[in-house]
Structure 1
Amino acid sequence: MAHTAMSGSGTTESDDPLQTAVWRLRSRGCWTDAAALLAPHAAAPRVAIQRASLLIERCLYTERGWAEADDALRAAEALAQGDDERGAAACERGYLAYASTLLGARDRTDEARAALGRAAALIDPAAPGRPLLDFRRGLIAQYLADSPQSAYAAYRRAHAGATARGDTLLLSFTWRHLAGLALRDGELAEARHGFAESLRLREELGYLVGTAPALAALADAEPEPEAARLRAEARRLLRLLGGVPTWLAVQLAPRAAA
């Protein structure tokens, strides 16, 4: 199956050497290098959108590069033709605005909601990009609107769509976020199962940059000493990747004794 060209949606095995190289770089947190591989081909709207998505993902993991991501996304939006491409670009616009708001770079809540609403109007419910859109609408509901019930419904739609399409990386995200809601509701067994599935899928894919967050999430649902072991492994991966994702590095930083 072909790679899915949207950040957060993941990838499957492909015979395309360019996409294989992009995935290998992306999975190790080398988004700038991956985007550079795509640059010579970025006159094609889908490639331009994929390039923007890589730079947006870099923002979410490193909390930098916002202007470059915005520039790449504007270029992709200018090239987009047809509802599917315009919808995909709008989905990325909403995700960038969400990341900016979530990480405190700039409050772009209204932009995030408007862009994902526009994407929903453009992307057919049966289109390949719909599960990713559903997932991102769940993120908005959970983290910007504090509406866990709406988030749960959106994540379930995304989970079903990712399952049907064999989008393994998106499944790792939906498992993790559904598990997070289960943990919030005190459903420990369900949370452990979901977090473990997310971790398993990321390890199978070799999605190294996303493995530390999966380890830390599972640790939150496990008793000691297993939780401490999982967090220690997450810290080891963070050191290996130079402290990326930055928000997790802060979260797992050893606390000084009082």
Structure 2
Amino acid sequence: MSHSGKPESVEADDPHDPRRVAVWRLRSRGCWDDAAALLAPYAADDPDTALRRAALLVERCMFTAAGWAEAEDALRAAEAVASSDDERGGAACERGNLAYTATVLGARDRSDEARAALGRAAALLDPAAPGRALLDFRRGLVAEHLADSPQAARAAYRRAHAGAAARGDLLLCSFTWRHLAGLALRDGDRAEARHGFAESLRIRVELGYLVGTAPALAALADAEPEPEAARLRAEASRLFRLLGGVPTWLAAQLDRAPAA
């Protein structure tokens, strides 16, 4: 199962903004450095751009288990230019995600920092703030993977899913579908798991989120019988190789025996 936490929102949410579209296209193909470079000239003075740049580099850490120093630098820069509670809350949410990522990938145990930062984000973000659904999702990740509390995780994922759907954040919906499906599979409900994994995959394909498609295929394979599971894993392996072996943690999942 994936432990991934996504950054901000889909960069291509404004098709009339060429820079957002370009950033999304690079990000969706795993070119995080190039995407961050497009934002760098504007990040020094604009809190939103600074946070989006930091989020890209944190996502690179999640997919590659590398680039920690660059992500930390970008995050500190975003924290420095944040001036409102929502901006500070967004930066705290991203710091929590970086600490969570370092912990689950075994780079360094920063679980206490992850919890503290996400708690700080919850205190700063207005309940109706755009970043609230993402915060709920990340608190679900911490509950599931650091606290081993699936009930708390499910409640947080459901709040995140409702918030993402209300705001039209399709990529976050893909993540919430996937993690709710993972909990269903953990409980032995294969039908519910297949539905959630299939919805997650469908959204990623429709959005063109190529770098996240192989993990979605592999997750669905875990809930499918043969021979469909083998077909899905083969397609996931093809994309995994095409993208140069990212996400790095997917290799172990692809090597596992197919689900019965």
State the alpha-carbon separation in 2 of the partners of residues 8 and 244 from structure 1: 20
Corresponding residue number in structure 2 for 1:78: 80
Give the secondary structure class of the aligned counterpart of 1:179. helix
Using the TM superposition, give the Cα deviation of residue 10 of structure 1 relative to its aligned residue in structure 2, in angstroms.
3.4
Normalising by structure 2, report the TM-score: 0.94
Corresponding residue number in structure 2 for 1:124: 126
Q: What is the one-letter code of the residue matched to 1:83?
A: D
Corresponding residue number in structure 1 for 2:89: 87
Using the TM superposition, give the Cα deviation of residue 252 of structure 1 relative to its aligned residue in structure 2, in angstroms.
1.5
Give the secondary structure class of the aligned counterpart of 2:95. helix
Does the Cα contact within 8 Å between 1:8 and 1:169 map onto a contact in 2?
no
Corresponding residue number in structure 2 for 1:176: 178
Does the Cα contact within 8 Å between 2:89 and 2:124 map onto a contact in 1?
yes
Q: Deviations over 1:183-230 (max 9, x none)?
A: 111111111000000000000000000000000000000000000000
State the alpha-carbon separation in 2 of the partners of residues 171 and 254 from structure 1: 27
Larger deviation, residues 90-99 vs 6-15: 6-15
Does the Cα contact within 8 Å between 2:11 and 2:23 map onto a contact in 1?
no
State the alpha-carbon separation in 2 of the partners of residues 175 and 8 from structure 1: 17
Residue 28 (structure 1) aligned with residue 25 (structure 2): no
Larger deviation, residues 56-65 vs 244-253: 244-253
Corresponding residue number in structure 1 for 2:157: 155
Give unmatched runs, 5+ long, in structure 2.
1-5
Corresponding residue number in structure 2 for 1:13: 13
- Structure 1 residues 88 and 75: CA distance shift in structure 2, 3 A: same
Does the Cα contact within 8 Å between 1:182 and 1:190 map onto a contact in 2?
yes
1:236-247 equivalences under 5 Å are: 236-247=238-249
Corresponding residue number in structure 1 for 2:252: 250
Q: Say how many residue pairs are matched.
A: 250
1:102-113 equivalences under 5 Å are: 102-113=104-115
Give the secondary structure class of the aligned counterpart of 2:223. coil
1:55-66 equivalences under 5 Å are: 55-66=57-68
Corresponding residue number in structure 1 for 2:169: 167
- Structure 1 residues 8 and 236: CA distance shift in structure 2, 3 A: farther
Q: Quick one: percent identity of the two aligned structures?
A: 78
State the alpha-carbon separation in 2 of the partners of residues 232 and 206 from structure 1: 19
Q: Deviations over 1:21-61 (max 9, x none)?
A: 00000000000000000000012111111100000000000
Choose which of 100, 103, 106 in structure 1 pairs with 2:102: 100
Using the TM superposition, give the Cα deviation of residue 253 of structure 1 relative to its aligned residue in structure 2, in angstroms.
3.7
Corresponding residue number in structure 1 for 2:202: 200
- Structure 1 residues 8 and 185: CA distance shift in structure 2, 3 A: farther
Give the secondary structure class of the aligned counterpart of 1:230. helix
Give the secondary structure class of the aligned counterpart of 2:245. coil
Corresponding residue number in structure 1 for 2:3: none
Using the TM superposition, give the Cα deviation of residue 251 of structure 1 relative to its aligned residue in structure 2, in angstroms.
2.6
Give the secondary structure class of the aligned counterpart of 2:70. helix
Q: Deviations over 1:71-121 (max 9, x none)?
A: 110011011011000000000000000000000000000000000000000
State the alpha-carbon separation in 2 of the partners of residues 183 and 8 from structure 1: 27
1:226-241 equivalences under 5 Å are: 226-241=228-243
State the alpha-carbon separation in 1 of the partners of residues 135 and 11 from structure 2: 16
Does the Cα contact within 8 Å between 2:8 and 2:131 map onto a contact in 1?
no
Give unmatched runs, 5+ long, in structure 1.
1-5
Using the TM superposition, give the Cα deviation of residue 127 of structure 1 relative to its aligned residue in structure 2, in angstroms.
0.9
Corresponding residue number in structure 1 for 2:193: 191
CA RMSD between the two structures: 1.2
Choose which of 47, 50, 53 in structure 1 pairs with 2:52: 50
